[in-house]
Amino acid sequence: MQFLLKTKLNIPALTASQSVKRPRLLHTLTESASRRLTLISAPPGSGKTTLLAEWASTIDNPFTWLTLDEDDNDPMRFWRYILLALQKIQPHITDELLELLDANQAPAQVVSLTAESDTPIIIVLDDYHAIENQQVHEGINFLLNHMAAHVHLIISSRADPPLPLGRLRVRGQLAELRATDIRFMPDEAAVFLRDIMGLTLTQSHVEALDRKTEGWIAGLHLAGLSLQGKDDINTFIDAFAGTNRYLMDYLIEEVLDHQPEHIRDFLLRTSILSAFCAPLCDAVCDISNSQYILETLEHTNQFFTPVDDNREWYTCHQLFADLLRHRLRQYADVASLHRQAALWYEGAGMYSHAIYHMLEIEDYTHTVALIEQAADEVWSSGELVTFRNWIEQLPQMMLYASPRLCVYAARTMLSIGPIERVKPLLDAAEKQLDDELWLGRVDAIRTTQLRADERYDDGYHMAKRALSRLPDDDYHWRSLALMSLSGCHYARGELTETIQVMEQAYHVAQLSNGRFIAYFTVFGRGEVLMYMGKLAESAAMYAEHLKGSLPVQGWAFAGLGAIYREYGDMDSALEHIEMGLALGLQGQIDDVIRRGYVYLTQWQLSTGALDAALQTAQEFNNFAKMPGIPLTWRWAGAILARVWLAHGEIAQAVAWTEALQFSSAKYSFIYQFELGTLLRIKIAAGYFREVVVTIDDYLPQIEPLSHTLTTIELLILKALALAEMDENAAALAALRQALVLAEFCGFVRLFLDEGLPMLTLLDKVKNTHPYAAKLIGHDNVSVPDGLAEALTDRETEVLQLIAAGASNADIADQLVISVATVKKHISNLFLKLDVSNRTQAVARARELRLLR
C-alpha cells in the first residue's frame, strides 16, 4: 500500500501542454481561498483537478492535498491520511500521534492541531464525491464549524458534498465554482484545440465544437483526439454536431477506431484498473512493453498522467475509464482480466485491490483466503470499517463456512458493530475449530462480551480459559483477554488482582503496539492505587506521563490533580485537573472527560465555590446526554446530586436516589461513588440509624479487599451519623479508626469536605490524635464561636463573589469599584474572619453560615 499512499498526497503533476492559461479562474480561486470553504462542484471531466493543481503551483501558503477514493470511506483511514497530509506542513504532528489515532477524536484533534499558525493553512480534498460515509461527513462538518479562522478547506467534487452548506452561504463563508464557471469559454477552447492539441481549425470549427460540448473540457479533449490525424475536418464536425448519441460514446468510438490494434487492446484491457503501473499492465495484457506504451500515450494524447516524477504509477481519468470499460463488455474474457489483476496485486501485497478484483469475478474462495491474509495488516492499522466492508460482500454461507474469518469478523463487529452479529459468528466458528489458538481467540472475544453484560464471574472464568489456550506471543488477543479479565476483577472489587493483571496487560500491549491500551493500563493502575490508599505510588505513576500533550495523557493530569486535592494542595490540584479536562475534551476521550469533570466539581465543592460546582456539574450532565458509556451518565447524575446536597437542595438530591437502578443491599465496588452519594443524602435527610446499619454491613465485606479509600469514607460517614444521634463514644471510635488509616495514606479532604460537623468531631480528639489536630490546622480554621465584629454589606457582597470563584478583577467589574478597593475589602474580611487566605475565608464563612 505504501507506493499509492504517497501519491494520494501529491498534487497531480501537470504536463506543460495540459494547461490553458485561465487567469480569471486562478484569480477567483485566490480570492475565495480566504473563505472557510471553497467548493468546486461540477460533473466529471470539467477540469476541476487540473484547475486546482495549476492554482496550487502559484501560491506560497502552506498547502496540503489529498486525493480521495472510495477506500477512504473508512473513517480511520480518512483521518490518517488527513493527518499525514498535515504532517507535511506541521511538524508538531508526531508519528506517535498518528499511532494513537482514534477516528472519533480525530476531527477535534485536527481542529486543535491547526489552531496555531502564523500563515493560512489550506487543505484541498479532491474527488470528495467518493465519500459516502456519514461519519466522515460529520467529521468534516465538525471541522467547518470549529476550525480556526486561518484554516481553509477546498473541496472538489462531482456533486455538492452532502454537508449543511446553507449556513456557510448565508454567512459569506462559502465560495463556489460550478460547471458553468469552469467550462471553457470559446477563446479558451480555441487555445486548447489549436495550441495545445495542435489542430488546424477555423474559428467556425472551434465555435461548433465549443457549442456542441458546451465547453465541457473532457468532451473537447476527446473531440480533439478524434480530430488528430484526420484530413477531412468538416465532415467530422458536421457529423459530430449533428449526432444525437451520447457525446462521449460517440467520441470514444472515434478515438478507439483510429488507434493501432495493440493500443486499443491495451486501453480496453487496462480499463478494469483504477491505477496503472507497468508490471501490472503487463500482467493484465500479457505483454512486456507497458512502460513504453504508457509513456507514449502520456505524450501523445494524455490518457494517462503520471502520479509522480518516477513515472512508476499512472492514473487515467475516471470518465475515460468508464467509457472504455463499457466497451470492454464486448470482449469475451473480462473475468480473466480481473483474475490477472487480482493475482498481481496479491503478489505485490496490495490486498485491498486484490480483494476488489476477486469479488468482481465472484471467486469467493480465493477472496476468503485474501481477506485472511490481509487481516493482520488491516487490524494493526485499525481500518476496521474496510474489513467489515469486505466481509459484507461475501455471501453469508461463505463467511460462516470459514471459521477463522468468522473470528476476525466477530472481533471487528465487537469494536464497530453491529454487536448482534458477534455471537452467531462465534458460535459458528467454535463448531468448526479445533485449534487451541483459535478457540482461545473465540474465548477472548466472548469474555469481552460477558464483561459488557456485567456477568463478571462468567467473564472471569472465560478469560482464564482464553489465556490458557492462547500462546504467549499471540499479543493482540492476549491483550484483549487480559483487559477483560482486569475489568472483571475491578468490578468484583478485587483491586490487588486488578493491578497484577493490568501489569501483565501493559507488557503485552507494548509488544502488540497497542499504545492506547498501554496508556489505559498505566492510568487504570494509578486509579486503583488511589482506591487502595496508596496515594504516593499513584501520584508517581501519573507523574511519569505528564510530558507532551496527547489527549489521552489528560487522564494522568486529572488523576494527579485528584490526588493533590486529596492531599489538600488546592492550587496544584486545580492546575492539573483543568489541564486534564482540556486535553480530554480536545481528544473527545470519554474516560478522561468524565474524570476531569468529576474532579473539577469536587475541587469546587472543596473550596466552597458552590455556584461554579453547579455549573460544572450541569455542563457534565449535558455532555453525558450524548450516547456513550453508561458509566459516564451514572457519574454525572451522582456528582450533580452531591452538588445539590451542598446547596442544601435535599429534595433534588433525593429525587436522584429514586432513579437509582442497583440494589444497595450488597456493597458493590463499581457503584461506590453512587453509594457514597446515597449515604450522604440519607444523613442529610435524617436516616442516621439506617446509614449506620448499612455501613456496619458493608465494612466487613470490603475490609479484606484493600478498599482503603472507601473504608475511610464509610468510617467518616458512620462517625457523622452516630454523632447526629448523640452516640458520641461510638462516633469517636469510628473516627479514630478512620484517622489511623488516613494518616498512613495522607488523606486530608475526605475529612475536611464534610465541613463543620467533621471539624467539631476532630476537635474532640485533637489532643490524643495529632493527625486530627493537623487536619484542623490544615486550613488554619479554628472552630468558630461567632465573629468579633459584623461584616458590612459590601464586605458580604465581596465574600459571596469570592465564594463563587471570582478574581479581584471580576469583583471590581461586578461591583463597579476599583481593584484597589476590592483588595481593601478583602483584607478587612480576612481580619474579621481571622483567616489569611481566600480558601480559609470561604470555609470559615460557610461554617458561620455567612453565605446565603
From the list 96, 116, 132, 696, which residue makes contact with another protein (rule: CB under 8 A)? 132
State which residue, 164 or 395, has the beta carbon closest to another protein. 164
67, three cell numbers: 486525493
Segment 87 to 116, residues that bind another protein, using CB under 8 A: none
Calpha distance 224→226 (Å, rounded): 5
Q: What is the dihedral of CA 718, 721, 726, 729, to 10 degrees?
A: 10
Compute the least distance from the CB of residue 160 to another protein, in Å.
3
Segment interacting with another protein, rule: CB under 8 A, options 132-140, 650-658, 662-670, 684-692: 132-140
3, three cell numbers: 507506493
Segment interacting with another protein, rule: CB under 8 A, options 175-183, 193-201, 369-377, 700-708: 175-183
From the list 146, 150, 169, 774, which residue makes contact with another protein (rule: CB under 8 A)? 169
Residue (of 134, 126, 125) closest to 73 by Cα position: 134
State which residue, 133 or 259, has the beta carbon closest to another protein. 133
Does 165 interact with another protein (rule: CB under 8 A)?
A: yes
State which residue, 157 or 367, has the beta carbon closest to another protein. 157
Chain center to CA of 125: 20
Compute the least distance from the CB of residue 134 to another protein, in Å.
5
38, three cell numbers: 471553497
State which residue, 40 or 556, has the beta carbon closest to another protein. 40
Does 145 interact with another protein (rule: CB under 8 A)?
A: no
Chain center to CA of 283: 41
137 within 8 A of 162, measured Cβ to Cβ: yes
Segment interacting with another protein, rule: CB under 8 A, options 173-181, 329-337, 448-456, 790-798: 173-181
Segment interacting with another protein, rule: CB under 8 A, options 166-174, 385-393, 561-569, 835-843: 166-174
From the list 17, 57, 134, 234, which residue makes contact with another protein (rule: CB under 8 A)? 134
Segment 43 to 72, residues that bind another protein, using CB under 8 A: 43
Segment interacting with another protein, rule: CB under 8 A, options 40-48, 76-84, 206-214, 293-301: 40-48
Does 158 interact with another protein (rule: CB under 8 A)?
A: yes
373 within 8 A of 312, measured Cβ to Cβ: no
Coil, helix or strand at residue 784: coil
83, three cell numbers: 493527518
**Size, binding site for another protein by CB under 8 A:** 22
Number of helices followed by number of strands (H, E) in the chain:
48, 8
Does 417 interact with another protein (rule: CB under 8 A)?
A: no
From the list 23, 91, 166, 260, which residue makes contact with another protein (rule: CB under 8 A)? 166
Full DSSP string of 200-255: ---HHHHHHHHHHHTT-HHHHHHHHHHHTT-S-HHHHHHHHHH--S-HHHHHHHHH
State which residue, 41 or 512, has the beta carbon closest to another protein. 41
Q: Exposure of 430 by Cβ count < 10 A (0-12 exposed, 13-18 middle, 19+ buried)?
A: middle
Residue (of 846, 289, 362) closest to 609 by Cα position: 846
Task: Report the relative pairing of strands 313-316 and 304-306 from DSSP bridges.
Answer: antiparallel
From the list 25, 42, 563, 841, which residue makes contact with another protein (rule: CB under 8 A)? 42
Compute the least distance from the CB of residue 511 to another protein, in Å.
40
Does 179 interact with another protein (rule: CB under 8 A)?
A: yes
Does 41 interact with another protein (rule: CB under 8 A)?
A: yes
Compute the least distance from the CB of residue 401 to another protein, in Å.
31
Segment interacting with another protein, rule: CB under 8 A, options 36-44, 252-260, 283-291, 382-390: 36-44
What are the CB-based long-range contacts (under 8 Å, 24+) for 176-180?
176/38, 176/39, 176/40, 176/41, 177/25, 177/28, 177/29, 177/32, 177/38, 177/39, 177/40, 177/41, 177/42, 177/51, 178/40, 178/41, 178/42, 179/41, 179/42, 179/43, 179/46
State which residue, 182 or 712, has the beta carbon closest to another protein. 182
The one-letter amino acid at 165:
L
Other beta carbons within 10 Å of 549: 16
Does 823 interact with another protein (rule: CB under 8 A)?
A: no
Segment interacting with another protein, rule: CB under 8 A, options 156-164, 394-402, 501-509, 532-540: 156-164
Calpha distance 678→655 (Å, rounded): 11
Does 722 interact with another protein (rule: CB under 8 A)?
A: no
State which residue, 179 or 343, has the beta carbon closest to another protein. 179
Does 142 interact with another protein (rule: CB under 8 A)?
A: no
Compute the least distance from the CB of residue 301 to another protein, in Å.
27
Compute the least distance from the CB of residue 156 to another protein, in Å.
11
Calpha distance 163→182 (Å, rounded): 22
Full DSSP string of 711-741: HHHHHHHHHHHHHHTT-HHHHHHHHHHHHHH
Question: Which residues have C-beta within 8 Å of that of residue 447, sequence separation ≥ 6?
Answer: 459, 462, 463, 466, 480, 481, 484, 485, 488
Residue (of 165, 155, 163) closest to 134 by Cα position: 163
Compute the least distance from the CB of residue 628 to another protein, in Å.
16
Cell numbers 456513550: residue: 628
Does 728 interact with another protein (rule: CB under 8 A)?
A: no
Segment interacting with another protein, rule: CB under 8 A, options 164-172, 302-310, 387-395, 526-534: 164-172
Task: Report the relative pairing of strands 37-41 and 151-157 from DSSP bridges.
Answer: parallel
CB burial of 437-467 (b: ≥16 within 10 Å; e: otherwise) equals: ebbbbbbbbbbbbbbeeebbebbbbbbebbb
Does 139 interact with another protein (rule: CB under 8 A)?
A: no
Compute the least distance from the CB of residue 317 to another protein, in Å.
17
**Angle at which helices 75-87 and 106-113 cross, to 10°:** 10
Segment interacting with another protein, rule: CB under 8 A, options 18-26, 38-46, 56-64, 372-380: 38-46
Q: Exposure of 503 by Cβ count < 10 A (0-12 exposed, 13-18 middle, 19+ buried)?
A: middle
Segment interacting with another protein, rule: CB under 8 A, options 6-14, 127-135, 439-447, 724-732: 127-135
Does 161 interact with another protein (rule: CB under 8 A)?
A: yes
State which residue, 165 or 817, has the beta carbon closest to another protein. 165
Does 160 interact with another protein (rule: CB under 8 A)?
A: yes
- Based on C-alpha coordinates, what's the Rg of the chain? 35
Compute the least distance from the CB of residue 780 to another protein, in Å.
53
Other beta carbons within 10 Å of 820: 9
Segment 180 to 209, residues that bind another protein, using CB under 8 A: 180
765, three cell numbers: 480528639
> What is the per-residue binding string for another protein in 781-820, x denoting contact by CB under 8 A?
----------------------------------------
State which residue, 180 or 310, has the beta carbon closest to another protein. 180
State which residue, 158 or 565, has the beta carbon closest to another protein. 158
State which residue, 43 or 648, has the beta carbon closest to another protein. 43
Compute the least distance from the CB of residue 238 to another protein, in Å.
29
619, three cell numbers: 455542563
Full DSSP string of 131-182: ---HHHHHHHHHHHHHS-TTEEEEEEESS--SS--HHHHHTT-EEEEEHHHH
Does 137 interact with another protein (rule: CB under 8 A)?
A: yes
Compute the least distance from the CB of residue 47 to another protein, in Å.
14
State which residue, 116 or 132, has the beta carbon closest to another protein. 132
State which residue, 133 or 652, has the beta carbon closest to another protein. 133
Q: Which residues pair with 64 in a beta bridge?
A: 123
Does 162 interact with another protein (rule: CB under 8 A)?
A: yes
Compute the least distance from the CB of residue 53 to another protein, in Å.
20
Residues at the contact surface with another protein, assessed by CB under 8 A: 41-43, 129, 132, 134, 137, 157-167, 169, 178-180
